[in-house]
Amino acid sequence: MMEEKISKIIRNNAVSSYLMFGISWMFLFQRKNENLNNDFVKKHTRSALLIHLLIVISIIIFGFYGVLGKVFIWKYSLSSIILALILIFLFIVLFFGAYKAYKGEIFKIGEIFSIKKGKNVLDVNKDGNFGEKDKLTFVLSYIPFVGQIFTSKYNKNENIKEILKLNTFISFIFCFLFINYYHNLNQIIILLYFIFIAFVGVNLFGKSELIILNLSKYLDFGEIIKLLKILIKYLKNYISGNFKEFKILEQEQNKLDYEDKIKTFNEVKDLHELKGPKKIIYFPIVNLIFLFFKENKYKIHIRNGLTITFLLIITIILIIFKIIGGNILILFLFPICFGIGNLEKLYYKMPFIYEIYEFFAKIKGFFKKSKKVISEKRKEVKELKIKVGQEKDLEKNEKETKQTLDN
């Protein structure tokens, strides 16, 4: 009977976490009260906190600051429409979470938050030497653009990978607000994010606990490219009648990507070393000097870098003619920082950037092939004309010879 009463109290506490807006976070720090200090309540509290946070952020961005408020649809601003839709959705999710808690079931949205402990889990290089250097690496990985430069090389570490996804997502929000001149809102979000980083750092150095947000894998640029490739194959197979399940295509694409990395690495590993500082490969305009270099181990990176320069030049031209605003240049920090951070990976084909390179390489190849075909056709026509001319001369000579013999 006592166990049933405790079970009911625990469920009610979990339900309360969704309804007690703004104070439910205190449930996470309860140590003595067993009705609050248990996994069931804490998982639901994390879910509730995430939903509450999203509600507050949505109201600040689309309500208070009116992002996209200058666009109107049927006399309603786009910011009001987006805010209304988001709030309706979030309140439905909120009550659904409370219902799951009442039923004694876990609401998995709360699993987005996790706290990692233990030397084996937090060891960056998995070399058994976990220490302050590893802790500093984790903190740096949270800092926009700095994390991409200094910690991208560790992205095989699942914790670093998760942190970089959050870092990239937050950095993209910064850039979006900067491009659209929402500077005050940007400053508030930057301040809040750096307070969060400070909290992570204190927790990590003080307790050796790392706070992780497990976001969707599709917040990674590489995964987005992979998804697009899979979707194209999925639709092609459906149209052609050779249908394959998405999961099978995903496995095939993962295998192809892995094989491409191995193939690319084997192609470049025996090429000669590039002398001088490697980082200038990703310095736009300056990296044009690599047009005059022979093939070397860093040829994939050079292609990445030159493509960035090409895109930058096009962007500057569009800015000069006032087609786009100058603030958009901030987006080039993404490929530059990711490129520098991944220099040790000789096979690194930067998502989106290398696809653009391959696209223009195909166009160039098409024109070269066309030029070659035209050249061969001209040669054939020329040879044909010579042959026809020779035949005419031969006929003429035969006629003249015949006339001479007749006379």
Virtual CA dihedral for 172, 176, 179, 181, nearest 10 degrees? -130
CA gap 120, 130 in Å, rounded: 8
Task: Give residue limits of the domains in the chain.
Answer: 1-113, 118-216, 271-351, 366-407
Buried b (16+ CB within 10 A) or exposed e, 265-286: eeebeeeeebeeebeebbbbee
Find residue 211's DSSP bridge partners.
115
210's enclosing H/E stretch is: strand 209-213
CB of 67 closer than 8 Å to CB of 176: no
Q: 88, exposed or middle or buried, with CB in 10 Å at 0-12, 13-18, 19+?
A: exposed
Q: What is the pLDDT of residues 140-184, one digit of tens each?
A: 999 999 999 999 988 788 899 999 999 999 999 999 999 988 888
323's enclosing H/E stretch is: none
Buried b (16+ CB within 10 A) or exposed e, 375-388: eeeeeeeeeeeeee
Predicted pLDDT of residue 318: 96
Q: When comparing pLDDT for 267 and 387, which is higher? A: 267
Residue 301: closest CA among 286, 290, 285, 315: 290
Task: Record the tokens describing residue 406, joined without a space.
Answer: 């007749």
Q: What is the pLDDT of residues 45-97, one digit of tens each?
A: 888 888 898 899 899 888 888 887 887 877 788 889 899 999 998 998 899 88
CA gap 238, 192 in Å, rounded: 46
